[in-house]
Structure 1
């Protein structure tokens, strides 16, 4: 993976984290507003709770992309750790390829969902339901981008393991020649 691509992905991640922070602040403020209206003034409104719900969905899907990039999703690696380094790297590569395949399918069907819900309005805020549902394809697209990065890094790991194995084999042959 080139350093330019890595820097671009780092920049995208920083933007994502800033957007998530802003969404989190707006979500918190709208929930506080909703609680005050409901319990102090006994006059709840509909849009604040709906806004918080939609922001939570956006935070979840966009934040999952960062989770993929940082490799922070829940994993059960007990069985993978039983294998040697090269086999572990191959298993991780297969896992990342399966994740990429799933994300591509999710992107296809979530895009169809968004296109089908453009004329449907949300009950509280009266916005197109395509806006909250857009979190799925946007987050999935970002996850695909970072999954490709992980796959390329895994190929690099496999390549370095292979070169280390060659060096070990060469050193072993040199030691045999010296002994002989």
Structure 2
């Protein structure tokens, strides 16, 4: 690791630009990483268990097919259910960490009032979409509350209920971000 040169050992005849270049090689202190709360950590563990369970079930069924030329049908259904769970609960994590897919090429070219206006409009549209998804998800769950899955006999409410849960969580997160967006001064909206 390069260290900062000692001023006593520097030759006074050196070019100041060369000295500046040497100083630029000194690594700056990196900001401390964000420490997760207990709730965030437990949610990550929950998602990891779901994901590993899905992978384990698929691997188990593949090995049964390869070694014994048979399969265990409930494992396929459980893997599908866990895939649905990891999709929607992973979406909650993406919204919470602001790591969801966003196309910001146009917004990055703006600054000031125009950028804040576009971000407010985009946030409102996102909340409307999540509200529609929440409403549609609740309607869908209500229409399937008496259905059971074929192999496992699980009530489909427990499976399809992840959609309105994700939409409600994303709506709350987006509303929180929307309030913070409104409170930010226009001077903080700069070009990227």
- Superposed pair shares fold, TM > 0.5: yes
Q: RCO greater where, 1 or 2, for CA within 8 Å and sep 6 or more?
A: 1
> Match for residue 182 of structure 2?
155
Cα deviation digits, residues 88-118 of structure 1 (max 9, x gap): 1221121111111111111111111112112
> Match for residue 138 of structure 1?
165
Q: What's the offset of the Cα at 1:138?
A: 1.1
Q: Is residue 2:70 matched to residue 1:49?
A: no
> Match for residue 29 of structure 1?
56
Runs of 4+ in 1 over 6 A off after TM superposition: none
Q: Is residue 2:161 matched to residue 1:122?
A: no
Aligned residues: 153
Q: What's the offset of the Cα at 1:135?
A: 1.0
> Match for residue 85 of structure 1?
112
Structure number with larger C-alpha Rg: 2
Alignment partners' CA distance in 2, 1:16 and 1:93? 29
Q: Which runs of 5+ in 1 are unaligned?
A: 1-8, 165-180
Query: TM-score normalised to the size of structure 1?
Result: 0.77
Q: What's the offset of the Cα at 1:85?
A: 3.0
Q: What's the offset of the Cα at 1:28?
A: 1.4
Higher helix fraction: Structure 1 or Structure 2? 1
Alignment partners' CA distance in 2, 1:120 and 1:21? 28
Query: TM-score normalised to the size of structure 2?
Result: 0.73
Greater Cα shift, 79-88 or 109-118: 79-88
Q: Which runs of 5+ in 2 are unaligned?
A: 1-35
> Which of 123, 148, 158 pairs up with 1:96?
123
8 Å contact kept, 1:69–1:150: no
